[in-house]
């Protein structure tokens, strides 16, 4: 008989090491697909460290994740294998999404009926993919493979997350119907991942010359760029810097809603690129020292420009005209 919670619903646990903001954003389509595959299960999310799914993105998890055991400490040390498991609940299914074998052995100690893990080529899992399985490069493809093994069918990948009506209405008021908008996010968690600001200016001016309105999405770490960008591109909008904007100013839902009003978007390899991905608009992502194959946002229409295609890893190797051409192609498709 499958394990159930006190209300009689079958129970399911996901074990992860934790999610920084970019990791959490990447996993949102996985969480939504998990709920679609197991609609009647109570879903518990267990992490070793903290997770932005339980904090920054918690409003987007309503109806998807029922309970968090975030920052549980489970899996911080191999010595945990010698300790009593602090979570005593039994789960009908445990999904292990991390890749360290000793942590997988630890996750197996969660009481379960079925345990699924891709670690070590699914060798520690109760169920496995068909013979000849090749692990894909993209992390989201790996997670959806895990769901297929667990549920017996592959759920659809739907990147466009639902947005509350009030967020849509606010975005429509800020970016009303009429002009075509292009969202531009020049920031990133590390400045080494940022395309030079003057290239973003050139890109924005090209959009203005084409009759579109550049919409700069600036986070708190990019506020020092605001005066320069306003002076260089007077046609541009900076919606997150509106003085009358309600707090929290930098809510992920607000950024997604604004982006969905745009004909295209451009970003570095950053958390904002994944917010743009969740809006599922035509998206150009720029990569230098990082790789696109594993983490690039998945969108219906997208393109990538890499510094390696121009002879190195430095972001300045990507020419502005190449980005302008890609944006034009994405909009005109």
Tens digits of per-residue pLDDT, 253-298?
999 999 999 999 999 999 999 999 999 999 999 999 999 999 899 9
Phi, psi of 230 (to 5 degrees): -65, -40
Number of domains in the chain: 2
Residues 6+ apart with CB under 8 A from 216: 184, 185, 186, 204, 229, 233, 236, 237, 238
- Give the range among 106-110, 159-163, 215-219 with minimum mean pLDDT: 159-163
Residue ending a domain, choose from 119, 151, 183: 151
Starting at the edge strand found earlier in the chain, the sheet holding 67-69 runs 67-69, 42-47, 11-16, 90-96, 111-117
Two tokens, residue 112: 């379960």
**Residue 333 confidence class, pLDDT cut points 50, 70, 90:** confident
Pairwise CA distance, residues 295 & 54, whole Å:
21
List the domain range (segments joined by +) for residue 187: 165-332
Residue 221 sits in the same domain as residue 326 = yes
Q: Is residue 2 part of a domain?
A: no
CB hemisphere CA count around 138 (13 angstroms): 13
Number of H helices, E strands in the chain: 11, 10
Same domain for 143 and 85: yes
Q: How confident is the model at residue 314 (pLDDT cuts 50, 70, 90)?
A: very high
Burial class (CB in 10 A: 0-12, 13-18, 19+), 238: middle
Cβ 170 vs Cβ 253: under 8 Å: no
- Residue 246 — very low, low, confident or very high, per pLDDT cuts 50/70/90? confident
Query: Against a cut of 0.75, is the pTM above it?
Result: yes
Whether residue 157 lies inside any domain: the answer is no
User: Are 143 and 178 found together in one domain?
Assistant: no
- Domain presence at residue 279: yes
Could you tell me how far CA 258 lies from the centroid of its own chain? 17
Residue 102 has which token pair? 């000793």
pLDDT at position 1 over 60: no
**CATH code of residue 80:** 3.40.50.2000
In a domain, 158, yes or no: no
* Average pLDDT score, the chain: 95
Residue that terminates a domain, selected from 88, 123, 151? 151
């Amino acid at each position: 008989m499958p394990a159930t919670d006190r209300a009689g619903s079958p129970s399911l646990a996901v074990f992860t090491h934790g999610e920084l903001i970019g990791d959490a954003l990447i996993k949102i389509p996985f969480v939504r697909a998990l709920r679609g595959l197991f609609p009647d299960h109570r879903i518990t999310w267990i992490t070793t460290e903290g997770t932005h799914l339980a904090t920054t993105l918690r409003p987007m998890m309503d109806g998807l994740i029922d309970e968090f055991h975030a920052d549980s400490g489970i899996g911080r040390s191999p010595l945990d294998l010698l300790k009593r498991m602090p979570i005593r609940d039994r789960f009908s299914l445990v999904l292990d999404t991390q890749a360290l074998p000793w942590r997988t052995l630890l996750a197996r100690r969660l009481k379960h009926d079925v345990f699924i893990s891709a670690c070590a080529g699914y060798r520690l899992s109760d169920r496995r993919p068909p013979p000849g399985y090749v692990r894909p490069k993209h992390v989201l493809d790996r997670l959806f493979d895990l769901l297929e093994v667990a549920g017996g069918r592959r759920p659809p990948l739907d990147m466009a997350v639902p947005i509350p009506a009030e967020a849509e209405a606010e975005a429509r008021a800020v970016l009303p119907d009429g002009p075509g908008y292009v969202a531009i996010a020049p920031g990133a968690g590390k400045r080494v991942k940022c395309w030079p600001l003057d290239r973003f200016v050139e890109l924005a001016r090209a959009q203005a010359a084409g009759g579109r309105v550049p919409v700069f999405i600036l986070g708190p770490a990019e506020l020092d760029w605001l005066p320069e960008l306003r002076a260089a591109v007077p046609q541009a909008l900076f919606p997150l810097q509106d003085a009358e904007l309600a707090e929290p100013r930098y809510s992920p839902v607000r950024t997604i809603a604004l982006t969905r009003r745009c004909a295209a978007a451009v970003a570095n390899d950053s958390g904002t690129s994944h917010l743009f991905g969740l809006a599922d608009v035509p998206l150009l992502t720029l990569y230098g020292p990082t790789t696109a194959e594993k983490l690039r946002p998945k969108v219906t229409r997208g393109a990538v420009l890499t510094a390696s295609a121009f002879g190195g890893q430095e972001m300045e190797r990507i020419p502005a005209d190449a980005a302008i051409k890609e944006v034009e192609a994405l909009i005109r498709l």
